[in-house]
Structure 1
Amino acid sequence: MQKKTGLYLLSSAFCVAITTPDSAFAECARDIIGKWQQSHVEFAGNRIKDDSQSWEFMKNGTVRFVKSRPVIDKSGGYSCEGDIIYMKGRLPGRLKILAYDGGTMALESLDHGGGIAHVVKIK
């Protein structure tokens, strides 16, 4: 009987993927853990004051929208790949971290209109 090496390698990779804790997938290139308040947004170069949203990124890979318009509430899971945050809630999408200094971030929506949200860490 011949060994099917590829099948064994695939099985090992699959087992590793299953046993990896969910929190490992939430690690981002930047420390986004904590509560953030939106201060303004930019669309086509126009700055618009908008403090209608705040949310909390948690270490366990979930994000909770503390204050949001119901239609854009993205509470649920999230994961990261470099500077891209993958939102996995009711309204999935991707946010790209354009600027970060530990206390503020600029997040570009890659899927929902392309606006840029400027947020401030509040906790």
Structure 2
Amino acid sequence: MTQSPLQPTLGELVATITTQLSNLVKGEVDLLKAQVAEKGQKFGIGAGLFAGAAFFGFFAFATLVATAVLALALVLPAWAAALIVAVVLLLIAGLLALIGKKSIDAGNEVKPEIKDNLKTDVDVIKDGIKEGLGK
């Protein structure tokens, strides 16, 4: 069986597929790197702003706590007022910790997009090889 000059040989097909698969994988890896870099940059800026807000918020909150203790001390002994405020603050801290843990757990979920994309690409290539060999 003679091969037409317009049809590539099996070796040429395999070389082309190998090159295309390599380029495809490199492209997916570059996409992943770009996504991680973008998320890291946004996270860094957000974390810095959040730290600044937390710094000033801490002092404002401490002043409000002192105000609450002083207000309760008008009706109760000072130690009882401080104890009540401390218990309320501990309850709020526990609730915030639980909500924060749920939020962090939700953020750790990995999106399988790239894995699925690579699997789809490999399946398409396999189908192309089967079609090419079947002719």
TMscore range, shorter length: under 0.3
- The structure with the largest helix share of the pair is 2
- The structure with the largest strand share of the pair is 1
Question: Relative contact order (C-alpha < 8 Å, sep 6+): which is higher?
Answer: 2
